[in-house]
Amino acid sequence: MQNPTEVLIDFFNNYLPLNQEEITLILEKITHRNIKRRQMVLQEGFVCKHYFFVVKGCFKMYGIDNKGNEHNIQFAAEGDWIMDIGSFHTQKPSQLFIEAIEPAEVFQIEQQDLYFLYLNIPKLDRIFKVIVENKFVELQNRVLQTFSSTAEERYLDFLERYSDLASRLPNTQIASYLGITPEFLSKIRRDLSKNKPSK
C-alpha cells in the first residue's frame, strides 16, 4: 500500500513529472492531517485557508438555505481536491461548509505556500490551472443540468461521475446533491431497476 506522500506525488506526476528538488519543495509546504468522520475543515463565515487533497476518505461541500436545508455542491474522495475556491483566493468569509463523510486523511496547503510553489515550480502552476479548469467545467455542467435534465438524467450522470462513491454515500447525501428528496431518489432507483434489460 502506498504511503500518503507517494499518493500525492503520483497525482502530480500524472500531469507533469516532477524532479526530486521540486518534490522536496512541495513536501516542505504541505501539511498532513487525519480528519474524523463529520469533522468540519471549513465552516460558513470563516475564510477557506487551505486547498485539501484527499488521500483517503470522502468529503462533501455544501451550503445551507434559509430554511436550514443542506444542498450538496461537491463530493471529493481519494485523489481529488476540495476547497471553496472563491473564499481561498479572495480571503473573504465562505458561505459554504466542507465536512468529512468518512474518517479521512488529507494534505493541505495554505494560500501563501501555494503561491510560493507556483513561482518556484512552474509545472505546478500549470497543473493547478488544469485542476481549477476541470472544477469549473464540472460546476458549469451542473448548472446546465438544473434546467436541461430530468432528475433521472442527473442521477445517471452522478453515477458516471462518482461511480466509486455511489455505494459509499447515504441516499440523503446523493439526493441533496441532485436537488431531490430521498424518497424520489428511491423511486428513480426502482424505476431504473425495473427498466434494466434482463440477461
Average pLDDT per block of 10 residues along the chain, 199 residues long:
89 95 97 97 97 96 93 93 94 97 97 96 95 88 84 90 86 91 92 73
Residue 79 belongs to some domain of the structure = yes
Kindly state the helix (H) or strand (E) to which residue 61 belongs, with its residue range: strand 59-64
Residue 74 belongs to some domain of the structure = yes
Determine the pLDDT at residue 197: 61
Q: Which residues contact 188 (CB under 8 A, 6 or more apart)?
A: 151, 152, 155, 180
Phi-psi region of 56 (alpha: psi -120 to 50; beta: other; left: phi over 0): beta
Determine the pLDDT at residue 198: 55
Parallel, antiparallel, or unpaired: how do β-strands 50-56 and 104-110 relate? antiparallel
The pTM of the full predicted model, rounded to 2 decimals, is 0.89
Determine the pLDDT at residue 65: 92
Length of the chain: 199
CA angle centred on 187, ends 183 and 189, rounded to 5°: 115
SS3 category, 156: helix
Determine the pLDDT at residue 163: 81
CB 180 within 8 A of CB 171: no
For the domain that residue 16 is a member of, what is the CATH number?
2.60.120.10
Residue 86 belongs to some domain of the structure = yes
Residue 130 belongs to some domain of the structure = no
Distance of CA 87 to the CA centre of its chain: 15
Residue 77 belongs to some domain of the structure = yes
The Cα–Cα gap between 184 and 196 comes to: 18
Distance of CA 140 to the CA centre of its chain: 15
Residue 31 belongs to some domain of the structure = yes
Residue 136 belongs to some domain of the structure = no
Q: Which residues contact 68 (CB under 8 A, 6 or more apart)?
A: none
The Cα–Cα gap between 35 and 180 comes to: 29
Q: Is the dihedral of CA 72, 73, 75, 76 positive or negative?
A: negative
Residue 157 belongs to some domain of the structure = no
Q: Could you tell me the three cell numbers for 73?
A: 455542491
Number of folded domains that form the chain: 1
Q: Residue 44 belongs to what domain range?
A: 4-121
